[in-house]
Amino acid sequence: MSLSQLWIIKIGGNIIDDPAGLNRFLERFAYLRGKKILVHGGGKIATRMAADLGIEAKLVDGRRITDEAMLRVVTMVYAGLTNKLVVAGLQASGCNALGLSGADGNTIEAVKRPVGEIDYGFVGDIRPDSVDADAIATLIEGGFTPVFSAITHDGKGQLLNTNADTIASALAVALSARYSTSLVYCFEKRGVLLDVHDEQSVIPEIRASQFDELRASGVIADGMVPKLHNAFDAIGKGVDEVCIGHADDLHLLREHQFGTRMVR
Amino acid sequence: MSLSQLWIIKIGGNIIDDPAGLNRFLERFAYLRGKKILVHGGGKIATRMAADLGIEAKLVDGRRITDEAMLRVVTMVYAGLTNKLVVAGLQASGCNALGLSGADGNTIEAVKRPVGEIDYGFVGDIRPDSVDADAIATLIEGGFTPVFSAITHDGKGQLLNTNADTIASALAVALSARYSTSLVYCFEKRGVLLDVHDEQSVIPEIRASQFDELRASGVIADGMVPKLHNAFDAIGKGVDEVCIGHADDLHLLREHQFGTRMVR
C-alpha cells in the first residue's frame, strides 16, 4: 500500500520578521495541495519584547540561555503572538490551520537539556520518539493543518524552548511510518549553490552517495555541512526527501522545481 | 438515542492569578471524568505586561478598549503564556489538553464589534452560530480536551479579544445538538446565596420558573441578575444545565453537589 504524501515545512525567523515576505509565504503554503504541517521559528520579536521588558538576553560562550524570564517571553511570542498571527493568516487564505506547542495534545514531549559545561536553562531536546505520531495523524486526518511553534514540554508541567529545525526533522521522521514525508526547509537562498556567489547555480538534486564527494571538493562548506548532514540523517531514518530553498519558491514544490532536493 | 455528556467549564481571572488555586483547579479538572472543554479568561497578567511595556490601558466611560497594542498583549498572554501553562499543567495531571484560540481550526469566528457610541477596538462578538461544532467535536472524539483562550478571529486574518463567559456559553449552546451539555461557571463564591453574607446559604437548584420570583423578591440582585439571565438564556437554547460555584468544589460536580444548578 502506498502511503499518502505529507509535507513538513519549516520557516525561520527571517520570514517571520518580514511582514510582506510572511504574507507571500502564507498564501503559497495555503495553496499547496495535500496534507501538510508548518513549523515556525522565532524571529526577532522575542528579543525585542525581552528588551522592552528589561530582560537581558543571556549568552554563555556565544550560546543563548533560556532562563525563566526568557522562557515566559518566548512562550508568549512564539506560541502566542506569532503562532496565532500565522494561524489567522492561513485561515484567511482557506487553510484550516491549528496552532500547537508540543504541550498541546502532548504532541512533542522533550527532555530538559542536562546541565554540562553550560546550563542552557529551559531548553528541551527532542528525538523522533518524542513525537506522538498518533495524535498528530488524528489532527491531520480530522482535516486540520498543524502549525507548530518552537515550544515543547516535559510532560511534568514544564514548558521548554526547542529548536524549530529539530522539531521539523523529528516530525518528518516520526510521521514517515504512516505518510510519505517530505521535509522542506525555507531559508534565505534559492538552494544549495554550486557557486556561493551565483544564485542561479542551484544544485537541483543531491543523492546521499554524492554528499561525501561534494563535501570533499568544497562545494558544500561552512553552514551548509550540518544542514545537509541533518537532511541525510532524516532520510536515513525514513524521510522520503528533504528540500531546501527560498520561501518565495514554495509554489514550485510539487513540480520538483523548489531549491535543492536531497534524496536517498 | 441519548447524547453523551459534555462539560464546558469556565474559569476567570481570579483563578488564573492565584498559582496555588490554579493548580488545585487544574488537578480537579483533570480528574473530572468524561468529555470536557475548558475556557479561561485573562487575569491581571495582561494588564501588568501592558504596564511593563509602557502600554496604557485605555478606558472610555469605564469600558476597556482593545487597541492594536493591547490586542498584541492579550494575544501573547491569553493564547500564549496562560493557555500553554494551563495545557502543560493539565498534561502533567494526565489530561490530554489541547489549547485553542478561535482562529485555530476556525473553531470560533467572530465579528468585530461595530463602532457605535464607543469604539471598542479589536473586540469580537460571537453567537452560537459563530462556533464550528463539527471541528470541536472532531477534536473531542479524537481524544483531546480543548482549552480555549479568549481570543477569536474574523476569518479574514484579524485576531479579536472576546469575552470568555460568552465563549463558554456559545460553545455549550452550539454543541448541545450533539452532546448533553453542562455549562459550568467557576467564580469566587460557593454558588447563588440566599443570604449574600452567608456562604453556607447556597441555593442548590433554581428552575427557570423560579427565576422571576427570586428576582422580584430581591434574593437575586446586582451582578447575579445578568449571570442568571444568561444561564437561563443558554438553557432556553438547548443547554441541559448551567452550574455556578467555586472552583475548589469542582470535584463535587458529578454528584450535583457543586454550587447552584440552573435547570429547565
Subunit contact B75:A79, Cβ cutoff 8 A: no
Tell me, yes or no, if B87 comes closer than 8 A to chain A by beta carbon: yes
Q: What grid cell was written down for B80?
A: 500564549
Q: Per residue in A192-216, pLDDT tens?
A: 999 889 999 999 999 999 998 999 9
Q: Taking the domain A5-263, which CATH number applies?
A: 3.40.1160.10
Measured between beta carbons, the chain A residues lying within 8 angstroms of B77 are: 76, 80
Give the model's pLDDT for residue A1: 62
Which residues have a Cβ under 8 Å from the Cβ of B182 and sit 6 or more positions away? B5, B6, B7, B8, B172, B239, B240, B241, B242, B243, B253
Where are the domains positioned within chain B?
5-263
Residue B17 has pLDDT above 80, yes or no: yes
Q: Per residue in A111-160, pLDDT tens?
A: 999 999 999 999 999 998 999 999 999 999 999 999 999 999 999 999 99
The CB density around residue A76, as the number of other CB atoms within 10 Å, is 29
Q: Per residue in B117-168, pLDDT tens?
A: 999 999 999 998 999 999 999 999 999 999 999 999 999 999 999 999 999 9
Q: By three-state DSSP, how is residue B219 classified?
A: coil
Tell me, yes or no, if A139 comes closer than 8 A to chain B by beta carbon: yes
How far is the alpha carbon of A40 from chain B, nearest alpha carbon, in Å? 15
Interface confidence (ipTM) of the complex: 0.96
Residue of A77, A105, A155 lying closest to B98 (CB–CB)? A105
Which letter does DSSP use for residue A33 in this model? -
Q: With a CB-CB cutoff of 8 Å, which residues 21-60 of chain B face chain A?
A: 49, 52-54
Among all chains, which residue has been given the C-alpha cell 537541483? A204
Which letter does DSSP use for residue B79 in this model? I
Residue of A79, A88, A138 lying closest to B142 (CB–CB)? A138
Backbone angles phi, psi at B2, to 5 degrees: -85, 140
Tell me, yes or no, if A146 comes closer than 8 A to chain B by beta carbon: no
Query: What are the angstrom distances between the C-alpha of A58 and each of A67, A159, B172?
Result: 8, 18, 46
Query: How many residues in total does chain A contain?
Result: 264
Helix crossing, A133-141 with A164-175: angle to 10°?
A: 80
Give the model's pLDDT for residue A185: 96
Measured between beta carbons, the chain A residues lying within 8 angstroms of B78 are: 80
Subunit contact B91:A159, Cβ cutoff 8 A: no
Residue of B49, B91, B100 lying closest to A103 (CB–CB)? B91
